[in-house]
Amino acid sequence: MADLTFYTNPMSRGRIVRWMLEETGADYDTVFVRYGPGMQTADYKAINPMMKVPAIVHKGKTVTECAAICAYLADAFPEAGLAPTPDERADYYRWMFFAAGPWEQASTNKSMGFEVPPDKSGMAGYGDFDRTLSTLVGAVTAHPYVCGERFNAADVYVGSHIAWGMQFGSIPPTPALQEYVGRLMARPAYTRGTEKDDAAIAEYGPPMPAG
């Protein structure tokens, strides 16, 4: 048994963490948690009181939130080279937090039909959807990777948002974004992660029924 346990559902944001885990090369156990009552058990609530996936428990410590998990794993497995170099750190923190905060909120609100009234955009952390989108797109198209010339954990997290946004229609698939996502999807760890989660879906059947 590994000292790293990954709690996920294969049809969830857990796919981001799965990819990150595969990038680290770490040995880990996977626990699939079903939607609904499966996430509301006392045991799982003790791991994540939000009753959401993903979560990891590493050496007795729990980490939730995809962005935090990606950053944590990059630090915990430095030999994988996924943590930022000193020169990359400014972009790394900036765009990880931007994607987890303003972009997550803007894209969720958009998909649910919530709009910030124009006279209230100064009070919304993301301002408005279009500004948030163009800022995010600018960040990932300025260089081959989020922090410059080198792939790191920020690409796992930010790049997953870009790929999902293009897939679900909230991000226009420009050639520059398609090239960026193509570089990410060509990574063997991305393929391994996708295959593992798709195999779990095939085994359990979508959408992993409750209970």
Ligand X SMILES: N[C@@H](CCC(=O)N[C@@H](CS)C(=O)NCC(=O)O)C(=O)O
Whether residue 54 is preceded by a cis peptide bond, meaning omega within 30 degrees of 0, is yes
Q: Candidates 51-59, 79-87, 144-152, 188-196 — which segment interacts with ligand X by CB under 6 A? A: 51-59
Per CB under 6 A, 12 contacts ligand X = yes
CB 64 within 8 Å of CB 73: no
Q: Token match 């520059």: residue?
A: 176
| Residue 18 to residue 3: CA distance in whole angstroms | 16
Considering only 4, 8, 13, 189, the residue that binds ligand X (CB under 6 A) is: 13
Q: Which whole-number Å values give the CA distances from 70 to 61, 153, 154, 155, in the listed order? A: 15, 6, 8, 10
Residues 52-111 that bind ligand X (CB under 6 A): 52-54, 65-66
CB of 183 to ligand X, least distance (A): 23
CB of 67 to ligand X, least distance (A): 6
Per CB under 6 A, 24 contacts ligand X = no
Considering only 7, 35, 92, 151, the residue that binds ligand X (CB under 6 A) is: 35
Q: Which amino acid is at 164?
A: W
Cβ closest to ligand X, residue 99 vs residue 171: 99
Strands 61-64 and 55-58, how do they pair?
antiparallel
Q: Which residues bind ligand X (CB under 6 A)?
A: 12-13, 35, 39, 51-54, 65-66
